[in-house]
Structure 1
């Protein structure tokens, strides 16, 4: 016969399982509400939520003697403040206070019991009569707000936390190393000192990141090219260093792919859209957030890349280049690593991402080719013919030797430097017809 406390735990877990659909529906509605309410704020990043897992709930019931405090599982769930946990994420520690002020301004209708509602959705209430940030048992502060969802006789409790990027990281360390590790109690003071030191260092990193971010934001539009170059160089290094460690752990040696990460960053910035040209820091933070998530994930470099569907190409360039890359994507380690990084950062449908990347390559070579003729007084149809000839030769060279170095920035810049020098001696269409074989030779000699 089971002890009563374990029967209590089992019935509580069953009750949660029976109501899982309701809890997920409420969680999705709340997530949408907070995202819709704060997405326009520059200091807001995103909202995450989790519904308390059976293991976590069981541990909490036993740890806090809830089976003695509450008479029934229903009574326990009615009083469990963090059945659903929400986390609003922001960039920096000082942004946590800004988010909290935004919440206070939105939830400005006073209700009973210290709760406040908002004019956008009266079903959502937050307890805002408590001092924030709250002090935790470990001595550190956190913005943690109790909430309720009341609608059509249904009441669901939730907890809302506000955390900067470094505090998200710190929370994972604190939870996994201390809260989930009962052995540390033997040397508790030592662990507390170490964790306090880590927290101080993270706070310093937060301030340094904020200085970088504010500096980048303060750069005026006349320096937009320099701003973009700085951000891309920094991101390229972060991506390279992140995956360098993963590659070394997985295959046991270091591979030099720094130039490939430069190409990846160019592609990622292009994917950010034209609106990013006036504020590259937005795209920078978007990618940085994704890299922060990736840093915690494992990646298997031994697996094939498989696509969800056949790849579609819409012109001769994308078809020839794309098919050549597909031939080697699971044979050449550097091509394989290159696309695994892109697929992991971008997420989503790999076939679509691959197609987008090939279009990015076409755009890159087309724009470079067009720039070679900017000062030439040719008819548009002649310019178009010449550009197509340049592109055809690029395809021919690439198809002959599928070398990933051919698409790196350094090689493309050197290639088109030589092509521009070639076009300086082309003054009319006859010159072009007489010399275009030389152009083919110039392209074939590169990389």
Structure 2
């Protein structure tokens, strides 16, 4: 004799088949509504839907004992929350909350039982009182909203999900590998550890895709300045990725040196000659070719950096900075890595490249101070005296900690900005003499 449970399943499937035309009509109306409501949003991609398949419904009835809970097929279909499943897709994970906020704004008319309707189609309601995003059984978050379609004598439940591209992919993995795999129970912890690792990797991919999208979205090929920024940014990313992989392989861990690679790229581009489009393109190709060679070479991160001769400095600033860097270059891993990258990319003479970087660093501050004093009523020799005093104080600040973050682009700009503010009311040499002690004390207190 056949179990009543299976009669219940057969009757439920037959009921869905009987109402298939109505369900497809409702699903089509819902799809058009959500597409028309959000197509103007840049973060919106499209809407997908599915009507629950016979196989999926059969499995759900068995898995959750719906036969005992709902008693009749009619009651089951009336209460099944995801008879129709909708998915609004967006580009990135952070776009999911944007779509959700758009939905909350659209569905602003409060109804019963936590449901809200909208002014565009009063037949469509969403339950927005539930906390979002929800936490799934696997521990991960998802935007999942119960919906209801009511028109005349038709009432159909549906479920609305909001998913980014990587979360669509993740959902397929999770559903097919875990939810649909009844054999994984024996090694459940192992599977969940692996799945958690995959989820983390997808989140990283999402962030990388968003960076690429934002970068491409802001591109203007006719803008020469923007072209330079793009080339530098791309090279910095390539250098970072090459070396972070090699560091991980040899040392077993990774460090954050993205800002340092930005400094390296700025220095190398300045070494390449005048800032003209032709020079930038040629310099870009030169560095790219060099990186292709480096990418295939073995690099040792546990060896000393050696110099084959004594280093002579151009002035007091480069001498102070240089001697202090040399005191830690084979002790501080970040300084060691920083100059290893420069020496490998530039190739050739380490002494020459080391001095070249110190001159570049001096240039960053010297030119900024010169610009501040350019229109002041001060004799040239007095301007040089002022510049020397400020440069000497900058070098002293650096020597207190010898921190590589001191030379990061954002910190150089921050310090130059402070100097500009301190010099704004210095219009004569006498102004400088009166305020010299205060200005230098302010710079002494500066920290990164």
Normalising by structure 2, report the TM-score: 0.50
Structure ID, larger Rg: 2
